[in-house]
Amino acid sequence: MVFSDTTTNTGIVQQIRSFARVDSNQWSTEKITNSVNNYLDFLAGYLIGIDKKFQWDDTNHTKLPIGTTNLVANQSDYSFLTDEQNNSIITLTRIDMLDSNGTYHQLELIDQSEIKGALQEYKPTSGLPLKYDKIADNIIRLYPTPNTSVTAGLKFYFQRTPSYFVSTDTTKSPGVSPLLHRGFVIAGAYDCALALGLQNLQPLSIEMEKETAKAIRYFTDRNRDVHGGMKPNVENTR
């Protein structure tokens, strides 16, 4: 579903106004854009948090969620705030390091709770980093501290904010499954009814609950190619 289509009136903008029963004077495209982006944040946040085996990314992004940064001698802490297109990085999913042979290998993720004793005494001698601790969603600390600088020495994998809409968009569609596009219409119409005190707020609230439930079901069941382990039911004959 495209953002705006004034020819067929089937775009998100046009459908929102139709559901809310308002015109462009009552509810501007700028306000619709805010509602659509807020709902996009809701979906992205839920999808990023619900499944650690599925690294969701907005399909409108034109670069993969992978980046590199220089490894700096005697620097243990590294922050990854934005990607190369200035999208905010929400969480890191993996860190690889370039070794002396020019090959990346995966660093082991550890947590402060696994370290016994004072943190500053854990691997105090600089050397080849083997582990990293996520101090925050997008900040890491290497153990041990690197003793050499390497260009593009760290490769990081991440999940980021979605590709947001602007009020002048037309053919752009939400970067999620088309099965969830109706939710943007209902969310926008609901925001409009709530802000303007419209009489159709209650029906839109019910529709909003349905769309939220549909999104949760979709996110929960989408990995049909990942099968859970099965244990045979063995009867004890003794």
Record the pTM: 0.85
Q: State the Cα–Cα distance between residues 103 and 228, nearest whole angstrom.
A: 33
Q: What is the pLDDT of residue 137?
A: 87
Omega before residue 203 within 30° of 0, cis: no
Q: What is the mean pLDDT of each run of 10 residues along the chain (238 residues)?
A: 97 97 97 98 87 82 96 96 94 93 93 84 89 93 95 96 98 96 98 97 96 87 53 42
For residues 34 and 22, give the distance between their C-alpha atoms in angstroms, rounded to a whole number.
17
| The pLDDT value given to residue 220 | 77
pLDDT at 91: 92
pLDDT at 114: 86
pLDDT at 230: 39
Half-sphere exposure of 142 (CA within 13 A, CB side): 28
CB 64 within 8 Å of CB 84: no
Intra-chain end-to-end CA distance of the chain, in Å: 62
Question: How many Å apart are CA 55 and CA 65, to the nearest integer?
Answer: 9
Cα 182 vs. chain centroid, distance in angstroms? 20
| pLDDT confidence of residue 81 | 95
Q: How far is it, in rounded angstroms, from Cα 141 to Cα 131? A: 8
Whole-number Cα distances in Å, 179 to 3, 25, 174, 183, 205: 15, 30, 11, 9, 19
